[in-house]
Chains A and B, each alone.
Chain A
Amino acid sequence: MQDLTIDELYEEFEDLPDWDERCDYLIDLGFNLPELPAEAKIEENRVHGCQSNVWLVADIKNSTPPTVEFLANSDAVIVNGLIAVIAALYSGKTPQEIIAIDAQDVFKKLGLERHLSPQRRNGLYSMVQRVRELAVQAEAQS
């Protein structure tokens, strides 16, 4: 799951032109999302702006340049699927690459903008915001 790239995700979504099937695919991604350790599910790691709970942490790899892995979990399965999308988009990239990504453009291409409720869309962008903040922090530390 962690190895899923955003290009592979585009291909999958192209093969699934129907939103229902894409939604099922997101659910499957959600079920396959690695479980965040219970100790990470604390208020400090909580992302606000979503009706469901989301906890998100960053793991900075000591490579040159440093890359960032994102780990997150939600109590809602479809949101876990969205987290898998976020992970595919951002994980393994350098802070600079992360900051340069236009998430809105990606979500539009995937059709997520149109099919999510406003709350879920807000939640998705709150996650993007948090990822970017963590990337900025990682860059400052490197």
Chain B
Amino acid sequence: MNPLDIDAVRGDFPILHKPLPKGLPLVYLDSGSSAQKPQCVIDKEREVYENYYANAYRGVYRFGSIVDEELEGAREKIRQFINAEHSEEIVFTAGCTMSLNLVASGWGKRNLKAGDEIILNEMEHHANLVPWQQLALQTGATCRFLPLTEDGRLDMDRIGEVLSDKTKVLAVTGMSNVLGTINPIAELAKKAHDAGAIIVVDGAQSVPHEQTDVVASEIDFLTFSGHKLYGPSGIGVLYGKRELLEQTDPMLFGGHMIDRVYKDHSTWAPSPAKFEAGTIQIAQAIALGSAIDYMTTLGMESVHAHERDVLEYAYTRLQEIPGMRIYGPGIEHRGAITSFTIDGAHPEDLAQLLDRKGVFVRHGHHCTMPLHDLLGVSATVRASFGVYNSRGDVDALMDAIQFACQRLRLT
């Protein structure tokens, strides 16, 4: 494993070198929400529009062929990136939310009935919670919650309390977008399969930070977003095991996804076309392939090690702030996210004052209201780190927090 050359990586992201007003350097600590884009991704999207743009899977003319080839190339890169077995298991969607809705609606409605159970937990992002609630309402199934430990991990000792032969789905995030908790996916998959259930993994936060292997982890469905993986916005991925995708109904109907259309009924094309109705996000999907090339070239192990170093530094330094509360487990169980509150400071005030120093963080409930209810706070501030962040960014965060605390008369 090669250590990450952070200066070179930062050089690949043009936005980091455009000073803010007053010459402030940008300290971007919101990659958990959406990541900045390297030049190669920006160039690729531009290349499509400037050189060979056409609709996908439609034309035999040369631009059409190039687009089809590029799209299938991107699909293949994604397949390799998550170690899926077949390219037809990789479906382009509009994003992680759409992917999760597709699984809940397309697989869930066909396979769940009254009395069945869905296992969730309180750290799930709304996108991996609300679609399952809806599915439960529509099918008569019940959502059950695997308890969390005091420090914000899944309480694996208590999984027997919720997992049973009634369980049909265990839906879980690879990494919490608030607590940073990294969940034991392979272990959960094994337990779910032993109970006869499938596992659906929301990889929005985990896929950009660590190597994902759907075969080794025995993941049934994996979803993730392109924009959090340094790719364009508007594009996401659904991975599903081939036999499960065969048992999944499409959610969108229309052009390209059909096999034969009659006046009174239609039949569907095989996956992935079955799930890619209409015109997909062509340039974005192709540029997502470039984002994956970029991450593969850096090496996910190197990315993970670098982010770990920044996280450890942040986790240690943040504790120097009086009144600091960091939510979630110790760093041994956590990815590159730290959510916190400071006694006496409203998270929104903090975020607004940090912005004055060019430090961009997220505040609020981060689309995890049940988790915030559990934590007993309505909002937190979140600093999330990406491949381009450095220890220097953590120092800037510390300075900005100290500035904010002074303004809020806490020091």
Q: Complex Cα distance A51/B350, Å?
A: 13
Q: Which residues of B contact A27 (CB under 8 A)?
A: 407-408
Q: Is A77 in the interface zone, CB < 8 Å from B? A: yes
B356 touches A119 (CB 8 A): no
Query: Given that A24-B407, A27-B407, A31-B409 are contacting pairs, would A52 and B352 also be in contact in the complex, using a CB cutoff of 8 Å?
Result: no
Q: How far is the CB of B399 from chain A (nearest CB, A)?
A: 15
In the complex, residue of chain A having the shortest beta-carbon distance to the beta carbon of B344: A77
Q: Complex Cα distance A77/B342, Å?
A: 14
- Against A, the Cβ 8 Å flags (1 = close, 0 = not) of B368-393 are 00000000001100000000000000
A77 touches B356 (CB 8 A): no
In the complex, residue of chain B having the shortest beta-carbon distance to the beta carbon of A19: B356
Of B348, B364, B407, B409, the residue contacting A76 (CB under 8 A) is B348
In the complex, residue of chain A having the shortest beta-carbon distance to the beta carbon of B356: A20
A78 touches B364 (CB 8 A): no
Q: Is B12 in the interface zone, CB < 8 Å from A? A: no
Q: Is B346 in the interface zone, CB < 8 Å from A? A: yes
Q: Complex Cα distance A77/B404, Å?
A: 12
In the complex, which residues 331-379 of chain B have their Cβ closer than 8 Å to any Cβ of chain A? Answer: 346-349, 352-353, 356, 363-364, 378-379
In the complex, which residues 2-35 of chain A have their Cβ closer than 8 Å to any Cβ of chain B? Answer: 20, 23-24, 27, 31
Which of B348, B352, B356, B408 has the most chain A CB atoms closer than 10 A to its own CB?
B348
Q: Complex Cα distance A78/B345, Å?
A: 11
Q: How many residues of B contact A (CB 8 A)?
A: 14
Of A31, A74, A75, A117, the residue contacting B352 (CB under 8 A) is A117
Q: Which residues of B contact A117 (CB under 8 A)?
A: 348, 352
Of B353, B379, B408, B409, the residue contacting A51 (CB under 8 A) is B379
Of B352, B378, B379, B409, the residue contacting A78 (CB under 8 A) is B352
Q: How far is the CB of A135 from chain B (nearest CB, A)?
A: 27
Q: How many residues of A contact B (CB 8 A)?
A: 17
- Against B, the Cβ 8 Å flags (1 = close, 0 = not) of A28-58 are 0001000000000000000000011100000
Q: Complex Cα distance A27/B349, Å?
A: 9
Query: Given that A24-B407, A27-B408, A51-B364 are contacting pairs, would A78 and B349 also be in contact in the complex, using a CB cutoff of 8 Å?
Result: yes
- Against B, the Cβ 8 Å flags (1 = close, 0 = not) of A72-88 are 00111111000000000
B356 touches A76 (CB 8 A): no
Q: How far is the CB of A123 from chain B (nearest CB, A)?
A: 9
Which of B346, B347, B363, B408 has the most chain A CB atoms closer than 10 A to its own CB?
B346
Q: Which residues of B contact A79 (CB under 8 A)?
A: 346, 348-349
Q: Which residues of A contact B349 (CB under 8 A)?
A: 76-79
Q: How far is the CB of B400 from chain A (nearest CB, A)?
A: 13
Q: Complex Cα distance A108/B201, Å?
A: 45
Query: Given that A27-B407, A51-B379 are contacting pairs, would A78 and B356 also be in contact in the complex, using a CB cutoff of 8 Å?
Result: no
Q: Which residues of B contact A75 (CB under 8 A)?
A: 346
Q: Complex Cα distance A41/B187, Å?
A: 47
B407 touches A51 (CB 8 A): no
A-side residues, CB < 8 A to B, are 20, 23-24, 27, 31, 51-53, 74-79, 117, 119-120
9 A-B pairs, CB-CB below 8 angstroms? Answer: A20-B356, A51-B347, A51-B348, A52-B346, A76-B349, A77-B349, A78-B346, A78-B348, A78-B349
**Known contacts A27-B408, A78-B352; can you find 5 more A-B pairs with CB under 8 A?**
A31-B409, A51-B364, A51-B379, A52-B346, A76-B349
